[in-house]
Structure 1
């Protein structure tokens, strides 16, 4: 028996999220179908975490057990030939049998992208929330800093969350702005990329954080109110849930162990 670990990127626009569910048409469904077509084995993959419908991934990680003797270097090309074009496996390696993608993940980073130009980007519209109004990016950055550290994030969790604890640790959170597509002499602000890196995330957590930050950027909340919202431990205290299409699972990091190549986790 072998334990294979893989990295997959996907455009989540047309899918019902990552994890298998009764309605089908999930990323997991298509990956498992491709593995079955390739190896003849019915497997259940274990991912580093789930993503919601419409949410994308640049670096989702999953593992599964197989008795197939297909060389590890052949898996990516072979699976991609059996997957839809918006799901691409980019890395594959063999890891110790006790390796578990979800339990051993040490750090996850999400990126949320807002297009703050006057007009939407036709070719990037699937991966951006378009917000044509002016946003105070400095205020958003100041508000975001209040979330760094270990806190109870109940205010930023879905009301449907079933987790026994809402305590999570945000290691870092920052904003980067790309103004390369701004038109000179206009009120375009460019692409606002918000990165949130932590030990783990609750259902809708990053999207609720972003919906609240946008409210700060619009001047409807002061940056320091993010601390009050956090301390309220009440979903009603926070802002709306931002649309899923602007969210991307950017990377998942693990402690380096024998059999795991460092370059997989540092991209």
Structure 2
């Protein structure tokens, strides 16, 4: 009997060409599907909740597959972690109701972008943060971010080749000081119902121009109103970007979870 199985997992994106399968490239999807075939002899496709680019990391990506495997959820989580390389780690496995779709059932996505502006660079965090060699006006950057809250046309921040609507609803756009391995960093949290290709990195690239005084708040707002990507700033590097979490309707509950983690964690983040 077929089951809809879902995984929540993290990965370090440094050595990946992205999350989605690409010919000749090492993708997260390729590693996951290879491990699944070894475990179950099935060749099904794992569907991801969100796509990440080369070099972008994930803290809580979600993917699903329809499978006939009788294996327990705990066995699935343990076995995939044993088969996949160390830059992928499964947090939890769920059995979901029929019709669950990792991408289309999601109500929101949250990303974080991490900045390091300490006096000296960190070797430990290299490849995991955006290193800044000068201080930024964080207050001006937050003022710009405040204008993103609500439903807007984000065409000015869309990546090349995007098709369809560019209107998205942003629920959170906030800069926060944090500490990582004893080192002060600044973290940008962005949450929306969905994101356009390269949208977060294009927002960050333009936001940095606000932070270093090259772009006023009025100019930032004019860029958004223009709906023209050519007016916005450069695409920020990928290494500071993390897919933080996927939010689903609280009414959508797993039928069963692996015994090693609390399976409700990532299904209670959507507040409507």
Name the structure 2 match of 1:185.
none
Name the structure 1 match of 2:206.
212
**Separation in structure 1 between the aligned mates of residue 179 and residue 89 of structure 2, nearest angstrom:** 29
Name the structure 1 match of 2:124.
123
| Displacement of 1:23 | 2.4
Q: Say which SS state the counterpart of residue 38 (structure 1) adopts.
A: helix
Q: Say which SS state the counterpart of residue 172 (structure 2) adopts.
A: strand
Per-residue CA distance 1:36-62 (angstroms, 9 max, x = gap): 001111110111011000000001000
Per-residue CA distance 1:226-247 (angstroms, 9 max, x = gap): 2111100000111110000000
Give matches, 1:1-267, under 5 Å.
1-161=2-162, 163-178=163-178, 190-256=184-250, 257-259=252-254, 261-266=263-268
**Separation in structure 2 between the aligned mates of residue 179 and residue 71 of structure 1, nearest angstrom:** 38
- Is residue 146–residue 226 contact of structure 1 (8 Å, CA) maintained in 2? no
| Displacement of 1:179 | 6.0
The more displaced of 197-206 and 252-261 is 252-261
Residue 179 and residue 17 in structure 1: after superposition, are their counterparts in 2 closer, same or farther (change >3 A)? closer
- Is residue 56–residue 239 contact of structure 2 (8 Å, CA) maintained in 1? yes
- Is residue 143–residue 225 contact of structure 1 (8 Å, CA) maintained in 2? no
| Displacement of 1:258 | 3.8
| Displacement of 1:73 | 1.6
| Displacement of 1:138 | 0.5
| Displacement of 1:24 | 2.7
**Separation in structure 2 between the aligned mates of residue 132 and residue 139 of structure 1, nearest angstrom:** 18
When normalised by structure 1's length, the TM-score is: 0.93
| Displacement of 1:266 | 4.8
Gaps of 5+ in 1: 183-189
Aligned residues: 259
**Separation in structure 1 between the aligned mates of residue 234 and residue 45 of structure 2, nearest angstrom:** 34
Per-residue CA distance 1:99-125 (angstroms, 9 max, x = gap): 001001001000001101122211111
The more displaced of 144-153 and 253-262 is 253-262
When normalised by structure 2's length, the TM-score is: 0.92
**Separation in structure 2 between the aligned mates of residue 133 and residue 262 of structure 1, nearest angstrom:** 41
CA RMSD of aligned residues (A): 1.4
